[in-house]
Amino acid sequence: MTAPQTIAYKTECLLCHQVQRNPPMNIPLIGKPGKHVETYLQKLLLHVGTKHTSELGKGKELLAQYQTLLLLSQYQSEDPSVQQVLEGIRADVFQRTRKNVPTDGDLDQLVGRIEFSTPEDARKARDAMQFVRDLCCELGAAAPTLVT
């Protein structure tokens, strides 16, 4: 009789590609994670803190930014500099967290799948798709203009 296999998931550091194995975390959607989750996160933090100190510093800066966003977003202020700070942080968080951004090639493929009557109609459809993509993803002319 063979021993039961234990499930282990691979967690790879994107900076140095060191691999660690972890059991299923089973993190609840609501409530606090278990002690094993906290222990594992501490292990990952220790790795970043010893092997990737500059990235950890950038992470701390981002955390401070996010805390500022959460705090300031609970108030309505007439101060335009507060609105600029909020918009800058919101735009940065959005750029870092958006999941899908169709490329120009993706848009060309979509247009290519549709049988347009004229090349002009195909160009108009492509331009419309690009406009919507840029607006939703805050690219090109729709990119946020931040005052520094």
* Token pair of 72 as six digits: 């300031």
- 3-state SS, residue 12: strand
* Token pair of 90 as six digits: 């919101």
Domain assignments of the chain as residue spans, ordered by start: 35-97, 100-148
Query: CB-based contacts of 118: which residues, under 8 Å, 6+ apart?
Result: none
* Token pair of 100 as six digits: 């899908």
Mean local confidence (pLDDT), 103-119: 95
What pTM did the predictor assign? 0.63
Phi, psi of 84 (to 5 degrees): -65, -40
DSSP 21-62: EE------SSSPPPHHHHHHHHHHHHHHHHH-HHHHHHHHHH
* Residue 86 host element (H or E): helix 80-97
Q: How far is 6 from 23, CA to CA, in rounded Å?
A: 8
Give tens-digit pLDDT for 37-76.
899 999 999 999 999 999 999 889 889 988 998 999 899 9
Give tens-digit pLDDT for 12-30.
999 999 998 888 888 888 8
Percent of the chain surpassing pLDDT 90: 59
